[in-house]
Structure 1
Amino acid sequence: MKEKLIIYQVFPRIFTNMTASCVPGGTLEENGSGKFNDITAKVIGTIADLGVNCIWLTGVIEMATKTSYPGIPADNPNVVKGEAGSPYAIKDYYDVAPSLAENVGERMSEFENLVGRIHNQGLKVIIDFVPNHTAREYHSDVAPAGVRDFGCDDDFGKFFSPSNNYYYIVNQQFCPDFPLDLEGNKPYVEFPAKATGNDCFTAFCHRNDWYETVKLNYGYDPGDNSRHFEPVPDTWLRMLHILRYWASKGVDGFRCDMVFMVPEEFWHWVIPQVKQDYPDVIFIGEIYDVNLYRTFLDYCHFDYLYDKVNLYDTLVGIEKHNVSAAQLTGCWQCVDGIGDKMLNFLENHDEVRFASREYAEDPSKVIPSLVVSAMISKGPFMIYYGQELGEMAHDNEGFAGDNNRSTIFDYWSYDTLRRWYDNGRCSALKLTRHERWLRKLYKNVLTMCNARRAFREGCFFDLMYVNLRNSGFNPHRQYAFLRYTESEALLVVANFDDNNIDLSLSIPQLAIDMADLASGKQCAKDLLWGRELSFEVGADVQTALSVKGHDAVIVPLKKRGNNAIE
């Protein structure tokens, strides 16, 4: 049975940290850190109980940090974001973050044991692959024999060379618009300056640039837009080795960071190379241009892509800006034929929390967005740790301030997670009544995604086109669709309005024929809440349903020749 991928994104540094009195911008000693070993079989089992079948361990590979460890000096604090550092400023592609280990000298073994525990629970594990940039100070102290650091063989006298790993602003010292001597006892000096990670090809980047990173050179010369891919660039070969290294440790896949900032030709070359040895390894691309979706699936060989700028942004617009729910039809049409390759989500480390002041303010409003994004296709769905508890991200943790996101730069912990984790007990005893209700909701929806074959592998039929002028249906605040197989049909109606509604829905003859629906009066139990419903189905009748404000119904429909409803 092919499962729909349900991903739980975990940030281990914070996920199991039980320090209750964290100091904004605090050190590791002050605020503590979660550990690989904290994610026990019980923790993994509790995550799996939500309906999750894949865990994304975020912030695993060693990043630049202000924290020193035995044998591992701290990085220059003037080019590190936050006390703990950004997980996307990689300083050693072959190592894991020492903050996540109980025994720093055994950190890789602790990581490998965690991968084993996840697999023993029947789940997959993915990690980040950050190909576009490294930390400004890159050095591996555990790389396999013969592997040299990025940049160690570069010609510093050239802005671009096909054999260089970085781009150099020749005869210029790195000089951003902020001082490089405010922290620590040693100013940060970089000469010649390297290009900054967000394609800032000068020595004079700004504080809002990715100043803690440097851009990697894949054989593309931004000076004249020329491409130099033969012979295979050194950076390509290094990255292939890194991907194979992690795949050999049992990692099931990679969430690839900012894939569109790396030449498409690299992905076209590297993913098949990895899959020759590890055919089941999956590649998920972070991408923000709908026009590139098909290229990155077909030519670049990605298995799945973020659908942020299409479905996610539309759902945000419906919730925050009175965008019509009818716009959701355009979302699936935009990815028609590749929708099953789209990774949908409502939260991740880059986006504001759903329950935050900047988004919905109330975690209980999540139902229509959750149901639509998780059930509109066979593609993967992802939640972010603490989302199922309604984490609101109202803390000022340090570097990024109170920005409605959970920090990725600081040592921190959250009250919601502490009460759930409860020193490894993973109990609901300390959760509020509302948190228990919300977690049960997520479990029901996520479990249903694979328990019901219509969601797992069924066809999709949008019912909006026949209801746009239906006086009993508000297409600007409600969205309705069918999912069906030869043996099962499910009607989904999501209500984005604050008010309870009594609606009358048209189901056209085309849908009845394609889904092989029985006509006439029916009774069924709403799969979301267990409510008994009575309604009628037919091309010449209206299907009457009641849906509460910011809620949804998921209704099994009878098939022709089958009086039973699955």
Structure 2
Amino acid sequence: MKNNLISIVIMFALLSGACVQQGKQKSEQDIKPEKAIVYQVFTRLFGNKNTNNKPWGTIEENGVGKFNDFTDQALSEIKDLGVTHIWYTGVPHHATITDYSKYGISNDDPDVVKGRAGSPYAVKDYYQVDPDLAVDPENRLEEFKALVNRTHKHGMKVIIDIVPNHVARNYRGLNNPEGVVDFGSQDDVNVEYKRDNNFYYVVNEAFEVPETIDGYVPLGSAVHPLADGKFVENPAKWTGNGSRLAQPHHYDWYETVKINYGVRPDGSFDFDTLPVAYSNKGFEAHYEFWKDKIVPDSWTKFRDIAFFWLDIGVDGFRYDMAEMVPVEFWSFMNSSIKMKKTDAFLMAEVYQPGLYRDYIHKGKMDYLYDKVDLYDTLKHIMQGRGLTDNIAPIQEKLMDIEHHMLHFLENHDEQRIASPGFAGDARKGMPAMVVSATLSTSPTMVYFGQEVGEPGDEDAGFGNPTRTSIFDYVGVPHHQRWMNGGAFDGGQSTLAEIELRDFYKRLLNFTAKSKALMGSYKDIHAYNREKTTGYTSKVHSFVRWSSDEKLVIVSNFSDSENFAFQLKLPEEIVKEWQLTNKQYKLTDQLYQEEIMYLDVKDGLGTINLEIGSLQSFILKLM
């Protein structure tokens, strides 16, 4: 929901102090022995077998996936990809047009819901799961708990979303635990701002539904009793992306309202700020700092929400648009979580590189999206309008925090690689995926359907083709062919889809186990660009190593050219690896078919290499 707004400088994304001292790169013995592999599934879509795909189709017409569709067989196949963590996207109960009133759930107004299924980032009740996802909506939380247990049984951990910046315009906490009061229920609505108000208010003005543009009509003009261009909210609340208008714009996040974290309308803070020294302190010290402080009410509400899900068995959270919430809140929130569950997996969207170190060191985030740097660069290369020369400088720039920068090529916000708007061919993602997954010690994330080349070209309704819709009831065709009616065996997949999934399986399983990929890194691309005839800006190379594993990684991003050259290993690498003047055998770790040789002479290593279009080698020194 945020693609066209990433570059906006938002008032609440503020630097909270002096520059953070950059931490040292972790030594090999300090790094976990295995790389984390996150598999993002859009829970509502994953198990849907219905192929109707009618634009704006109802749940009856287009179908919906359930928690129970994640069978032992499905989870086994996901695990076999090399996955360590599943991010179940869209679990908390969000606003939707489907009628669940017989379960005591209030109906939502199409004028403030995007799509028919609704956005998972307009959470309506944080203490319950979405009724769409249950076979028996009345028993939906128990069905989710069973899914958590199944996932754990298959050796994977569970991540769900927490969306701290905003909630649904029609938030109704029908399942609050004892002692928990609803967001906004105790607000003073006569003032724009008060520290312990949960929302901001447009005083003395009622909310007005945005004027529709570009021919948009809620539900695609389907008749609905509440689709009347009106929604009662008096006084109006600030909109989720920070709009202070009683009538937000059509492209604002009008279906949500912004949470107040004690940031005054002028941008100043109404809470204690962290001393600079806390950039270098662990989560225990952060917890002690906040333990006796009075914090805004919204802080404790979201901490208690996180505790609720941890108690159910959830292992971590993906935080939506974390940069729109003050870093001090994250210090409070994440240190509280880590005190309760030390190994909780905490990842977040932060799109301003200048904020990365604050949100890692002060905010105690484990991982941030590496979108603005690595993802954008790899996308441009895949599209044929970028150079591989730009990859290594990114890794060098982020070296002190490289372990914390989550790598991905797809997620629910981004275009599918196979879509015409991106690369038009899923195979063009193969060299980029090798680089993304092996460049650093950071986790790798894959979006369901990516591994079978899903193009995201369905006209689902509110959703925009090139991205698999997160707003509509829709089937995901390439994924459905692999799902094969619930067999999860690729029985209907094309040969190209089977081969692509095999590539992902080989790559991810290798990266999950490789000790070298949790060790040291050195670029050799720039050296070869200068020294090697036939080595071009379509090729990229680097080396990774640990005490007992040494890798040379080479990728060809060209979809039409093969290259032959004598790849050079610089003297400093030969010395670091303690190589002597002789010939060493190299074996490719992706397909185990290619055998090459590294010749070392007078301190320089050379490899005679032929690489095909869109081919990669992960060459291990034997």
Measured against the shorter chain, the TM-score band is over 0.9
Letter in 1 for 2:58: T
Aligned-pair distance for 1:541? 5.3
1:329 to 392, 395, 403: 392
Aligned-pair distance for 1:509? 1.2
Structure 1, gaps ≥5 residues long = 558-564
Correspondences of 1:483-522 after superposition (within 5 Å)? 483-498=544-559, 499-522=561-584
Provide the rounded CA distance (Å) in 2 between the counterparts of 1:396 and 1:256: 28
User: Do 1:525 and 1:533's aligned partners in 2 also have CA atoms closer than 8 Å?
Assistant: yes
Q: Does residue 2 of structure 1 match 2:66?
A: no
Aligned-pair distance for 1:519? 4.1
Q: Does residue 196 of structure 1 match 2:239?
A: yes
Letter in 2 for 1:79: V
User: Do 1:489 and 1:517's aligned partners in 2 also have CA atoms closer than 8 Å?
Assistant: no
TM-score, normalised relative to structure 2: 0.87
**Which residue number corresponds to residue 303 of structure 2?**
240
Aligned-pair distance for 1:514? 1.6
Letter in 1 for 2:132: S
Q: Deviations over 1:11-55 (max 9, x none)?
A: 111111011212111111111110001101111000000111110
% identical aligned pairs: 40
**Which residue number corresponds to residue 498 of structure 2?**
436
User: Do 2:40 and 2:87's aligned partners in 1 also have CA atoms closer than 8 Å?
Assistant: yes
Letter in 1 for 2:145: E
Provide the rounded CA distance (Å) in 1 between the counterparts of 2:604 and 2:337: 55
**Which residue number corresponds to residue 284 of structure 2?**
none
Letter in 2 for 1:517: L
Q: Does residue 553 of structure 1 match 2:553?
A: no
Correspondences of 1:72-471 after superposition (within 5 Å)? 72-178=105-211, 184-186=224-226, 187-223=230-266, 225-229=268-272, 231-402=294-465, 404-455=466-517, 457-471=518-532
Q: Deviations over 1:112-142 (max 9, x none)?
A: 0000000001101100010000000111111
Letter in 2 for 1:114: L
Letter in 2 for 1:63: H
**Which residue number corresponds to residue 97 of structure 2?**
66
Provide the rounded CA distance (Å) in 1 between the counterparts of 2:378 and 2:304: 39
Aligned-pair distance for 1:473? 4.4
TM-score, normalised relative to structure 1: 0.95
Residues 518 and 398 (structure 1), Cα distance of their counterparts in 2 relative to 1, 3 Å cut = farther
- When the two chains are superposed, the root-mean-square deviation of aligned CA atoms in Å is 1.6
Aligned-pair distance for 1:68? 1.4
SS at match of 1:152: coil
Bigger mean CA deviation after superposition, 326-335 or 220-229:
220-229
Letter in 2 for 1:436: I
Provide the rounded CA distance (Å) in 1 between the counterparts of 2:373 and 2:445: 16
User: Do 1:521 and 1:534's aligned partners in 2 also have CA atoms closer than 8 Å?
Assistant: no
Q: Deviations over 1:241-283 (max 9, x none)?
A: 0010001111010001100000111011111112112212121
Provide the rounded CA distance (Å) in 2 between the counterparts of 1:256 and 1:113: 23
Aligned-pair distance for 1:421? 1.4
Provide the rounded CA distance (Å) in 2 between the counterparts of 1:430 and 1:111: 29
Letter in 2 for 1:282: F
Q: Deviations over 1:206-239 (max 9, x none)?
A: 1111110000000001235343456311100101
Letter in 1 for 2:493: L
Provide the rounded CA distance (Å) in 2 between the counterparts of 1:240 and 1:125: 18
SS at match of 2:125: strand
User: Do 1:16 and 1:417's aligned partners in 2 also have CA atoms closer than 8 Å?
Assistant: no
User: Do 2:62 and 2:474's aligned partners in 1 also have CA atoms closer than 8 Å?
Assistant: yes
Provide the rounded CA distance (Å) in 2 between the counterparts of 1:540 and 1:376: 23
Bigger mean CA deviation after superposition, 437-446 or 62-71:
62-71
Provide the rounded CA distance (Å) in 2 between the counterparts of 1:504 and 1:172: 71
Letter in 2 for 1:481: F
Aligned-pair distance for 1:471? 4.0
Letter in 1 for 2:116: E
**Which residue number corresponds to residue 282 of structure 2?**
none
Letter in 1 for 2:461: G
Provide the rounded CA distance (Å) in 1 between the counterparts of 2:87 and 2:177: 25
User: Do 2:348 and 2:369's aligned partners in 1 also have CA atoms closer than 8 Å?
Assistant: yes
User: Do 1:355 and 1:390's aligned partners in 2 also have CA atoms closer than 8 Å?
Assistant: yes
User: Do 1:472 and 1:505's aligned partners in 2 also have CA atoms closer than 8 Å?
Assistant: no
**Which residue number corresponds to residue 59 of structure 2?**
28
Provide the rounded CA distance (Å) in 2 between the counterparts of 1:93 and 1:514: 52
Q: Deviations over 1:406-437 (max 9, x none)?
A: 00001111221222112321112211111110
User: Do 1:38 and 1:424's aligned partners in 2 also have CA atoms closer than 8 Å?
Assistant: yes
Provide the rounded CA distance (Å) in 2 between the counterparts of 1:240 and 1:532: 52
**Which residue number corresponds to residue 15 of structure 2?**
none
Letter in 2 for 1:545: L
Aligned-pair distance for 1:537? 3.1
Structure 2, gaps ≥5 residues long = 1-31, 273-292
Letter in 1 for 2:507: V
**Which residue number corresponds to residue 562 of structure 1?**
none
SS at match of 2:132: helix
Provide the rounded CA distance (Å) in 2 between the counterparts of 1:2 and 1:529: 23
Q: Deviations over 1:525-548 (max 9, x none)?
A: 322233333333334453221111
Aligned-pair distance for 1:475? 4.4
Provide the rounded CA distance (Å) in 2 between the counterparts of 1:192 and 1:363: 48
SS at match of 1:481: strand
Residues 323 and 519 (structure 1), Cα distance of their counterparts in 2 relative to 1, 3 Å cut = farther
SS at match of 1:127: strand
Provide the rounded CA distance (Å) in 2 between the counterparts of 1:208 and 1:518: 62
Q: Deviations over 1:94-124 (max 9, x none)?
A: 1100000000111000000000000001101
2:87 to 45, 56, 74: 56
Provide the rounded CA distance (Å) in 2 between the counterparts of 1:428 and 1:29: 26
SS at match of 2:304: helix
Provide the rounded CA distance (Å) in 1 between the counterparts of 2:580 and 2:471: 55
Residues 89 and 305 (structure 1), Cα distance of their counterparts in 2 relative to 1, 3 Å cut = same
Q: Deviations over 1:160-189 (max 9, x none)?
A: 100100000101122244169986334312
Bigger mean CA deviation after superposition, 342-351 or 500-509:
500-509
Residues 430 and 185 (structure 1), Cα distance of their counterparts in 2 relative to 1, 3 Å cut = closer
Letter in 2 for 1:290: P
SS at match of 1:87: coil
Provide the rounded CA distance (Å) in 2 between the counterparts of 1:98 and 1:443: 33
Letter in 2 for 1:533: I
User: Do 2:239 and 2:248's aligned partners in 1 also have CA atoms closer than 8 Å?
Assistant: yes
Letter in 2 for 1:133: H
SS at match of 1:293: helix
Correspondences of 1:530-541 after superposition (within 5 Å)? 530-538=592-600, 539-540=603-604
User: Do 1:486 and 1:516's aligned partners in 2 also have CA atoms closer than 8 Å?
Assistant: no
Q: Deviations over 1:428-482 (max 9, x none)?
A: 2211111110110000000000232212x22111112322312424341111111
